[in-house]
Structure 1
Amino acid sequence: MWTTSPERQQSGFTTAAAIFIVVILAALGAFMVTISGTQQLGFAQDVTGSVVLQGARAGVDWGVYQVINNTAGTFSTNCRSAAGATVTFPSLQGMTNVTVRVDCTSATYVEGASSPVSYQIIATACNNATCPNTSASLPNLYVERRLSTLVTN
């Protein structure tokens, strides 16, 4: 009578288990690469967001300085007009690829014997040539920050 050995019956199972483990490890590796890429993209957006926020802060500071200390300047004069004022800085020193747009409007009101002027300064900063960018095809790393302040002089 002819019999088969137990080792020979289990040889197919070992091959199937090895293929299964290789496939699972390959899928796990692909998943890790995807997660790593997403994490790097998120980190890049965080860094860009911080730089753009500093650009918006610089724009607000510049606008406040202009309406308080440079009242005869073009920005302050235009801000007091009906149209308001808009200035765009294509690149600030130390902040490459950051565009800052500063908008200003004003309102004069009567308070007793004086007539103070209230200025609203809005600074919009982004990492694009035009700011704010309202186009439908924005790049993946487009970041925009907007800050505003109200100053009474």
Structure 2
Amino acid sequence: GHEWKATFKSRMKGNDCPDCNKYISTKKSPRIKKISRLGEKMNYPGAGPIQLHDILQSSDSQLSAATGFRKNRRYRHKATVILEETRSGAWSYAQTKDFSNDGMLLESQVAFKPGTRINIKVDSSPFKSTAKIYKSTVTWCKELGDEGSILTYGVGVKFI
């Protein structure tokens, strides 16, 4: 993925994004008037200046629609997971909606208080090399509404 390679540490050293450079070297579109270093403007005929990095990010079909001003990209991934409250040991099922490198959005029939520590047990991870259990903290929990007679909650978690 684009953001996994374009790390903060790499950018702080003044290095360009590896994917943006690959895009620049392979893109032969007559619509591009000027492409310089990452962060500089480029112009398209009939449009105002835009950032190349923004084009690459917005073109990713796996990007969740609810990115807003987040610092990390969100990727859609639906899977059934088990949530275990670490203090009580109580568990319930939930559905993942999206994930990033520092958190996850879940849909649950159980409401969790922000600050609650939970373990998320995943069977179908989007990547082979990822953990099977994620230790996390609930950052927010909001009522989504009811589907028939089932009340559901959106639960945002941050990995710890």
TM interval, shorter chain, is: under 0.3
Where is the strand percentage greater, Structure 1 or Structure 2? 2
Rg larger in structure: 1
Report 1 or 2 for greater relative contact order, CA contacts < 8 Å, sequence distance ≥ 6.
1
Q: TM-score, normalised by structure 1?
A: 0.22
Where is the helix percentage greater, Structure 1 or Structure 2? 1
